[in-house]
Chain A
């Protein structure tokens, strides 16, 4: 119940300020721009959207998800409103969940607004819409993962800029650790076991299988537990800060 109240407040706050609009517009411009330029959507005729469209999402989220979520706790701490929240009869956990869902909703709106591309591929060809749906789910989960990471960082600092920089760094690492050209370089320098460990820590591995239309339980478990751990960490940090 109180999660819902906090969720509504956060969501309103996103849309009361230019934040959400700016992020959504930039996401739409970049994701569609990539699809038609580097994604070579028109020449390749990639109807599943895997390479032309979804491929770019983690690279966009590693910059945009921190921009969405950086204020979640940094702002509360800077303005002192965390003291109000901490003395209302709500648990830290329901505040965390409410805030997380609000940020996730903003990204969901951005993602939903890319629907013209789905209409386009259906108009031009005969794609497997199940694979496209899987791509959307994977994309959304990657964004949620990055939002959760940013939320954790946001609990550590009252400075949004610091939070942004650190979170972008962490999210970038999560993307790069599964990036093939880098893995190949790494393989030359270290053992295959190391490479595998690094790749499995990254987000691309789990995202790619989903965007190919493969629903593997292990990927969902990975996303859910990663997000869960970040949210629990947020709760731990917020309590530790008061002790």
Chain B
């Protein structure tokens, strides 16, 4: 479903992503781990067609994002890192706009919006202005946007960032549930999340994959059976990089 082949990205002389390759199949939830600045967001921005890659390609359901971006984008639901939203709209107005831009019209559109609101527990704020939402609701509104067109591929950049423990739990459950029928790529630097929601995980460091496997395999590789130790062993700290 998601096939990433030798994807690279330069920013000036800086190499943010270095020939990254991986695949995510339907029914898989791939955790994308790595320290800050490892290149997770940059990779996701390339896979979703926001940034053009410096080299390499990504295929979504067999469609190349560089050659046929329009088609490929229709298959993807994307939650960007900072959960950007149009502050001058209401939650429901925003979701209707996103549904319309995805080509949904009439009753189909309203149904999709209602379903997304229900899935992301937004009923209580549906008519509230986005400007006045708390961080958790902002995040979930943006997540709802990514689910509207029932995409085959979901790409979520730190979906649980800044949420309280209850909200984190709910989102993980949601990712797990959605992962049964979709291909999901989600990034995080919270290691418990990997065991809680992923079927497989890769650890990236300075634009390269340094570890890959199911959560159980990764733990088996770890020096003393903890993911944290493995993470610390295979990645470099910000200051050293």
Interface size classification for chain A: 20 to 34
* B contact residues, total (Cβ < 8 Å): 28
B84 contacts A6, CB within 8 Å? Answer: no
Within 8 A of A (CB), among B43-84: 45, 48-52, 70-71, 73-74, 76, 78, 80, 82, 84
- Interface pair B100/A5, CB less than 8 Å apart: yes
Shortest beta-carbon distance from B120 to chain A in Å: 16
A83–B86 CB distance below 8 A: no
Q: State whether B45 touches A83 (Cβ < 8 A).
A: yes
Nearest B residue to A86 by beta-carbon distance? Answer: B50
Bound-state Cα–Cα, A6 to B100, Å:
9
Q: Is the interface of A mostly helix, strand, loop or mixed?
A: helix
CB–CB B86/A2 < 8 A: no
- If A80-B80, A242-B50 touch, whether A88 touches B102 (CB-CB below 8 Å) is yes
Contact of A88 among B45, B73, B82 (CB under 8 A): B73
The answer to whether B84 touches A83 (Cβ under 8 A) is yes
CB distance from B175 to the nearest CB of A (A): 19
One digit per residue, 1 when the CB lies within 8 angstroms of any chain B CB and 0 when it does not, for chain A 80-118 equals 111110111111000000000000000000000000000
For window 74-108 of chain B, which residues contact chain A by CB distance below 8 Å? 74, 76, 78, 80, 82, 84-89, 93, 97-98, 100-103
A12 to B94, CA, bound (A): 11
Q: Which residue of A lies closest to B86 (CB)?
A: A81
A89–B70 contact, CB under 8 A?
yes
The residues of B that contact A12 with a CB separation of less than 8 Å are 89, 93
Say whether A242 contacts B51, CB under 8 Å: yes
Contact of A17 among B52, B88, B98, B103 (CB under 8 A): B88
Q: Is the CB of A9 within 8 A of B73?
A: no
**B188 proximal to A (CB < 8 A):** no
For B28-53 the 0/1 string (1 means CB < 8 A from A) is 00000000000000000100111110
**Is residue A122 contacting chain B, with contact meaning CB distance below 8 A?**
no
A9 to B89, CA, bound (A): 9
Determine whether A221 belongs to the interface, using a CB cutoff of 8 Å to chain B. Answer: no
- Chain B contacts of A13 at CB under 8 A? 86, 88-89
Q: Which residues of A contact B82 (CB under 8 A)?
A: 80
Name the A residues within 8 Å of B103 (CB-CB): 1, 89
Residues of B contacting A2 with CB < 8 Å?
A: 101
CA–CA, A154 and B101, complex, Å:
23
* B145 within 8 Å of A (CB atoms): yes
Interface positions, chain B 131-157, Cβ under 8 Å from A, are: 145
Contact A88 B89 (CB under 8 A): no
Contact residues in B for A80 (Cβ distance below 8 Å): 80, 82, 84
Residues of A within 8 A of B89 (CB): 9, 12-13, 16
Which of B51, B71, B84 counts the most A-chain CB atoms under 10 A from its CB? B84
Given known contacts A9-B97, A13-B86, A79-B85, A242 and B49 CB-to-CB distance under 8 angstroms: no
Q: Does A243 contact B (CB under 8 A)?
A: yes
Q: Which of A16, A84, A91 interacts with B70 by CB under 8 Å?
A: A91
Complex CA gap A89/B86 in Å reads: 18
CB contacts (< 8 Å) of A81 on chain B: these are 84-86
CB distance from A20 to the nearest CB of B (A): 12
Given contacts A16-B88, A79-B86, A79-B87, whether A87 and B48 have CB atoms under 8 Å apart is: yes
Residues of B in contact with A (beta carbons under 8 Å apart): 45, 48-52, 70-71, 73-74, 76, 78, 80, 82, 84-89, 93, 97-98, 100-103, 145
> A residues within 8 Å of B by Cβ?
1-2, 5-6, 9, 12-13, 16-17, 79-84, 86-91, 242-243
Apart from the given pairs A81-B84, A242-B52, 9 other A-B contacts in the complex at a CB distance below 8 Å: A9-B89, A13-B86, A17-B88, A80-B80, A81-B86, A83-B80, A88-B73, A91-B70, A243-B52
Sampled A-B contacts (14; CB under 8 Å) = A9-B86, A9-B97, A79-B85, A81-B84, A81-B85, A83-B45, A83-B50, A83-B80, A87-B50, A87-B76, A88-B98, A89-B101, A242-B51, A243-B52
